[in-house]
């Protein structure tokens, strides 16, 4: 009997999708079912892998158009035939003991609404374990306090309202977990690693930094109870402006970077790095490019 649904959303992961699927079928605990959603616009390689994957406990869904990661995930949740749901991006993996660890935590805490645990980051020459000792509520001012793929009760997803339509291009996980906090839902820590996340430069998150201010403003507006204090609002907005400033700096768009660095400083995020971005934005263009050329030679 299946007790948990593993939902996978695929788009343009290619061979990584096969690796992801293999990590599911080798689970030591067989009490799972799976839902695999292929988003429209997927490339040919990913489609071929998708068509080759078949299993008695697998439900496959094909989107006719490109709906995006959060609507695709919602489809997977709605297709779940169990009371629990765990998400898996198609370029990531589950460690072999993941289902066993998750179901053990649920069995020992039957009133829990969600499970959180350690995540192993791999790829791009790194292998780092993110150890979670507990939940820091104040960190919710900066982003989601729980890994977006953490297992949840299916009814919790609906109680919180799922993913906000205005945040489906980025920030929906953060908004969701803010809603979970406000709902008073109970979480339990699993005793081990329950997720393996692939680190690669072309990840969805790495392409969304420039929209962080708009996301932060939306999160604040949607969760007035949590952001009732000026301190939390300033931390949220300052962090967002800092991230945007760094993203613009990486693109050599120094005027935009300087604007957001100033805003971050206004919100209390003073640092040597932000001060340097402001100085760069005020330099004559020839001095700025000479400075970058010298830094490149010294690196």
pLDDT of residue 203: 47
The tens digit of pLDDT for each residue in 223-239 reads 999 999 999 999 999 99
Q: Which domains does the chain have, with CATH numbers?
A: 4-206 (3.90.550.10), 208-298 (no CATH)
The tens digit of pLDDT for each residue in 97-136 reads 999 999 999 999 999 999 999 998 888 666 676 766 568 8
pLDDT of residue 205: 47
Indicate the pLDDT class of residue 257, thresholds 50, 70 and 90: very high
pLDDT of residue 81: 97
Give the separation between CA 186 and CA 180, rounded to whole angstroms. Answer: 9
Mean pLDDT, range 184-201, rounded to an integer: 89
Indicate the pLDDT class of residue 299, thresholds 50, 70 and 90: low
Indicate the pLDDT class of residue 290, thresholds 50, 70 and 90: confident
Give pTM, 2 decimals: 0.88
Q: Which long-range contacts (CB under 8 A, 24 or more apart) does 75-79 make?
A: 75/35, 75/37, 76/5, 76/7, 76/8, 76/9, 76/35, 76/36, 76/37, 77/7, 77/154, 77/157, 77/162, 79/5, 79/7, 79/35, 79/37
pLDDT of residue 206: 46
The tens digit of pLDDT for each residue in 27-71 reads 999 999 999 999 998 899 998 999 999 999 999 999 988 888 999
Within 8 A by CB and 6+ apart from 55, the residues are 25, 34
User: Is residue 168 pLDDT above 90, yes or no?
Assistant: no
Indicate the pLDDT class of residue 209, thresholds 50, 70 and 90: confident
Beta bridge partners of 198: 122
Residue with the bigger pLDDT between 112 and 1: it is 112
Beta bridge partners of 87: 7
Radius of gyration of the chain (CA): 21
Residue with the bigger pLDDT between 204 and 99: it is 99
Show the DSSP H helices in 184-298 as ranges. 212-222, 230-250, 254-266, 272-282, 285-298
| Contact indicator for 32, 97 with CB cutoff of 8 Å | no
Give the separation between CA 116 and CA 144, rounded to whole angstroms. Answer: 12
Q: Which contiguous run of DSSP H or E holds residue 103?
A: helix 98-108
The tens digit of pLDDT for each residue in 16-29 reads 999 999 999 999 99
Indicate the pLDDT class of residue 298, thresholds 50, 70 and 90: low
What token pair was written down for 15? 């061979």
pLDDT of residue 123: 80
Query: How many Å is the maximal CA-CA distance in the chain?
Result: 69
Indicate the pLDDT class of residue 296, thresholds 50, 70 and 90: confident
Quick count: other Cβ atoms within 10 Å of Cβ 273?
A: 14
Indicate the pLDDT class of residue 145, thresholds 50, 70 and 90: confident
pLDDT of residue 21: 97
What token pair was written down for 120? 């192993």
Percent of the chain at pLDDT exceeding 70: 92
Q: What is the mean pLDDT of the chain?
A: 91
Task: Match 């005793």 to its residue by tokens.
Answer: 191
pLDDT of residue 294: 73
């Amino acid at each position: 009997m299946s007790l948990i649904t593993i939902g996978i959303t695929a788009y343009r992961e290619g061979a990584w999708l096969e690796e992801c699927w293999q990590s599911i079928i080798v689970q030591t605990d067989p009490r799972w079912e799976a839902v695999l959603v292929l988003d429209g616009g997927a490339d040919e390689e990913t489609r071929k892998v998708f068509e080759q994957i078949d299993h008695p406990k697998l439900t496959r869904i094909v989107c006719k158009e490109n709906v995006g990661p959060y609507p695709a995930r919602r489809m997977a949740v709605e297709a779940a035939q169990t009371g629990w749901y765990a998400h898996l991006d198609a370029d990531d993996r589950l460690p072999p003991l993941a289902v066993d660890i998750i179901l053990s935590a649920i069995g020992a805490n039957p009133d829990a609404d969600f499970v959180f645990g350690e995540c192993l980051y791999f790829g791009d020459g790194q292998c780092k374990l993110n150890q979670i000792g507990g939940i820091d509520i104040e960190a919710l001012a900066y982003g989601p306090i729980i890994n977006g793929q953490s297992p949840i009760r299916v009814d919790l997803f609906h109680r919180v309202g799922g993913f906000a339509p205005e945040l489906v291009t980025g920030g929906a996980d953060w908004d969701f977990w803010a809603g979970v906090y406000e709902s008073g839902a109970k979480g339990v820590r699993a005793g081990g690693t329950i997720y393996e996340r692939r680190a690669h430069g072309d990840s969805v998150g790495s392409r969304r930094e420039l929209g962080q201010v708009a996301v932060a403003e939306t999160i604040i507006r949607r969760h007035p109870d949590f952001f009732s204090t000026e301190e939390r609002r300033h931390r949220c907005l300052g962090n967002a402006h800092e991230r945007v400033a760094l993203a613009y700096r990486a693109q050599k768009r120094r005027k935009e970077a300087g604007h957001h660095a100033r805003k971050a400083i206004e919100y209390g995020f003073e640092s040597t790095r932000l001060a340097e971005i402001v100085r760069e934005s005020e330099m004559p263009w020839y001095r700025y490019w000479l400075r970058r050329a010298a830094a490149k030679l010294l690196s």
